[in-house]
Structure formats: structure tokens, C-alpha cells
Structure 1
Amino acid sequence: MTERPFKRGAVVWGLDPFKSAEAAEPERPFLVLSNETHPFADRQFAGVALSTTRRDDALALDPDDWAAGGLPRRSYAYPWLLVTRDHADVASVYGRLHPAVVDTVLDRLVGYLSASDADDG
């Protein structure tokens, strides 16, 4: 499961752009949301961060959410934490989530990006 470009639904482990290289764990898992229509699909993917920290609005990933593989610890998708990563930043692939789970994360992300502010008259 190391094919590149990574397909939508893949969970990959790689460098976290929000952590310094000196951090105790400078890497994290990401859920790939983009597909082959991404302008640079041969080199990059768009996705969201996953974490072992439960936060409000995080989507819990249950064992039956995985079509293949899985992460070693209970994890949560952060649909508000959108990233674009280079394939070269990926150290490994942990598995793939079922399309319905990916669609839920994507719908939540789109909801955050498309919602108007309350005072946008």
C-alpha cells in the first residue's frame, strides 16, 4: 500500500508542518482527501490531520471505519485542520478508511469552509 499518488482515504504518516523538527514527535498521521484531479497529484495531496487527542468536533475513528490497516492507538480526524503535503514528506502508509467515513470528514470540512459568519448580513 505504498503507491503514489496516494488515493483518497489513505492514512499516511509524515512530517507535521505545525511542529518543529526538534519536537519529540515531529510527525503525525494524515487522512488523504484529494484525488487524481488535484493539480499536483503526482507530488502532493490535500488532507486533514489525525490525532490521538479527542477534541470537540473531532471525528472518532473506530476499528470498523478501516477498509484496510489501522493506527496503533485510538485516533480522531480533525476536519478543520486542512493540510497540503508533499509525497516526499510521507514516511509510511497505515491503511485506508472506508469511503463513507472519508465522505463524512470531507462534508464536515466543506461545512467549515462554506458556512457564512453570523454577521455577514
Structure 2
Amino acid sequence: MKLTDPDYPAVLDAAVEILRERARTGQPMTYGELSAKLAERKFDPIPPHRGIMAYLLRDVCLYENEDGRAPMLSAIVVNKVSKEPSDQFSALARSLPFSRSGEWTWRDEQRVVFARYNGS
């Protein structure tokens, strides 16, 4: 899968749907789980580490959030071992259009995502 593949917009829509569903449960999802859920929907493989996954998660954060003010949905996607998002997530959060402050942490973002999608 590449960003230029005709199926990429459908993969992005599916990833957003999958992550919103998981956010409603208040539980994080690993990169591998997201990769497997996309495979269940018959998309070309999205490896859980690096490559297209990083771009997909960036685009998930920008989905209906061009100004970066809404919670970054991919905050709930974590490494299986560390239970934390990759360093790329924090770098993205501090870049435009998100521009999260120096006081910000990924845990704060994750709490806001869960609150938004589970009604808390």
C-alpha cells in the first residue's frame, strides 16, 4: 500500500472508523491490532511499524481536523510492549497544525480522545 494507491482513501476511512469504535471502549489499540483490523477488511497489508502506517496515522489525525484543534485520534494507538505511541506521534503533535504545548503529554491527548468518543 502506498499513499498514491487508489484504495488509500478507503483505508483511511476504515482506519478512522476502527479507531473511533475502539475509542468508544476507552481502550488503546496496538499498531499490530490496527494492521490486523485493516487486513480483515481485505485491504492490502499495512505493516504495523514505520512506512505507510506512520502516514496513515498522521492522516487519521487530520481527518475532519484540518486546523488541528480536535483531539488527535491516533493517540490511542500504542506499541504492544511499551503501551505508548511512537516518538513520531509526539513529533506530529508538536508540529503544525496541531502545535501541542510544551506542557502537553500523549496521555492527556489520549484522555481527550476517549472522552470525546465515549461521551465522558
Please give the TM-score of this superposition, normalised by the length of structure 1. 0.29
**Which has more strand, going by share of residues?**
1
Please give the TM-score of this superposition, normalised by the length of structure 2. 0.29
Which of the pair has more CA radius of gyration?
1
**Which has more helix, going by share of residues?**
2
